[in-house]
Structure 1
């Protein structure tokens, strides 16, 4: 199995396909590297596509110390994958937990990003729900540790923003739920504790985000309630950001609506590579409704 070793000695499994401008796909908490298969197959026609299993997700290593899991470490791991493959710059695409890693990649390693695609990211960002999110994250961590992934996966997979996928594509959702059931009990629990429960809200990073001019596409499902407002916040805050909202769609965007996801991502990357994804025109004043002089 192809592996890259991070600076702290953690082995990460990766897969790649295709040639061309690189795209690095970063998976969500409920998925793994296989979650990007519809995108790996589609974009490998024109790009060098790379995906990897985050630490804590077999066949990558599963560190047993919670301090080996954090938002900063998640970004360092993404950079380590690029370094290990000799890639100077790539389009970075992340969903949910991977979307947060993508935002932080732009903040910590902007020189390595050709563009950022942030999909379904926002859980825990809303200040009014911040404490609830941290509490429920620790409860999810406890359930993975005590009940195990096989027992807890059916419950987690029917969350409020997952049932849309189940209703539209029962076979696809079943693959997602079955894959979740194979996750490492220890890795899932420590990832939830170390990364999810401790990451900062986007609102806490507003000043840094306003200075991040990397071309960015934010994608949100309109029934992914706790990602909608964070998505709008990113649109209003990032200088070169576009926002796409998928109708009647939940959290698992790239699997629930793969055709839409691939179409929007392909158009975004094409515009970036043509030099046509600019910062917002300063004449587009947010406070103006109609110009009168």
Structure 2
């Protein structure tokens, strides 16, 4: 079982498949390293694909202290996994919590990043909902502690942006829910308090995002309401960015719509590799509706 050593000694389990230009997949809070199986299977045909379990998620270590969890640590853990795998640069693909992590890795370690795909990244970013998000995150953490993951997962898995997955693919959703029930309750609570509750709003990083040079793909489900506006913000802010909105889709979009997600991601990676994904053409002035002269 290969493991990477983070800067504080925490051991991070990782898995890999395939050969070629590397892709590192970073999972969401509600998932784990298994959440990327449809992408590991597809992209390992022509890429070296790596996925790992974040700290607090078995079989990686589960630090006792909430201070061992933060957004900066989560970003640096990606680099620790890359170092252990002998990868100098990689395409980074993250969902939700993982989407925030790959964005921050791009800001903290730009020389290690070939491109960034941030899917479903937005919860807690909206300034109007910051206090609500922190409060509800504390409730989620407390529920993992008091009810335990097997019981609370049945509630969490039927959230407003998860039921789309359940409606489309009951078997796939049930597998997601079952794996969620295997979370370590302490690790989940510490992750929620240390990472989710404390991470800065994307809007507070506007200057940094405007200076970001890495190609960025933002993917959002159109029924993942609290990720839509942050997705638009990233598109309007990061110079070499594109936005894909998946119709009738919720938060767990790489599992809910695996074929569509893979198609969009594959096209993005191909354009990046060929040098065709650059900043927006300056003639595409968003203030202009129709040209008159």
1:217 aligned partner: 217
Deviation at 1:249, TM superposition (A): 0.1
Q: Give the match's secondary structure for 1:227.
A: helix
Q: Give the match's secondary structure for 2:191.
A: helix
Deviation at 1:65, TM superposition (A): 0.2
2:140 aligned partner: 140
Deviation at 1:230, TM superposition (A): 0.3
Deviation per CA, 1:41-91, whole angstroms, max 9, x where unpaired? 000000000000000000000000000000000011000000111111000
TM-score (norm 1): 0.99
In the alignment, the residues of structure 2 paired with residue 291 and residue 110 of structure 1 have an alpha-carbon distance, to the nearest angstrom, of 37
Deviation at 1:291, TM superposition (A): 1.4
1:100 aligned partner: 100
Deviation at 1:5, TM superposition (A): 1.1
Gap runs ≥5 in structure 2:
none
Q: Give the match's secondary structure for 2:217.
A: strand
2:89 aligned partner: 89
2:271 aligned partner: 271
In the alignment, the residues of structure 1 paired with residue 203 and residue 16 of structure 2 have an alpha-carbon distance, to the nearest angstrom, of 34
1:257 aligned partner: 257
In the alignment, the residues of structure 2 paired with residue 183 and residue 264 of structure 1 have an alpha-carbon distance, to the nearest angstrom, of 30
In the alignment, the residues of structure 2 paired with residue 273 and residue 44 of structure 1 have an alpha-carbon distance, to the nearest angstrom, of 16
In the alignment, the residues of structure 2 paired with residue 284 and residue 102 of structure 1 have an alpha-carbon distance, to the nearest angstrom, of 28
Equivalent positions of 1:116-195 (< 5 A) are: 116-195=116-195
Deviation at 1:96, TM superposition (A): 0.2
Deviation per CA, 1:75-110, whole angstroms, max 9, x where unpaired? 110000001111110000000000000110111011
2:67 aligned partner: 67
* Aligned-residue RMSD, C-alpha: 0.5
Deviation at 1:36, TM superposition (A): 0.2
The reply to whether residue 50 of structure 1 matches residue 50 of structure 2 is: yes
Deviation at 1:282, TM superposition (A): 1.0
TM-score (norm 2): 0.99
Deviation per CA, 1:112-131, whole angstroms, max 9, x where unpaired? 01000000000001111110
The alignment covers a number of residue pairs equal to 293
Q: Give the match's secondary structure for 2:121.
A: coil
2:202 aligned partner: 202
In the alignment, the residues of structure 2 paired with residue 212 and residue 76 of structure 1 have an alpha-carbon distance, to the nearest angstrom, of 17
Deviation per CA, 1:173-226, whole angstroms, max 9, x where unpaired? 000000000000000000000000111111100011000021010000000000
In the alignment, the residues of structure 2 paired with residue 288 and residue 105 of structure 1 have an alpha-carbon distance, to the nearest angstrom, of 34
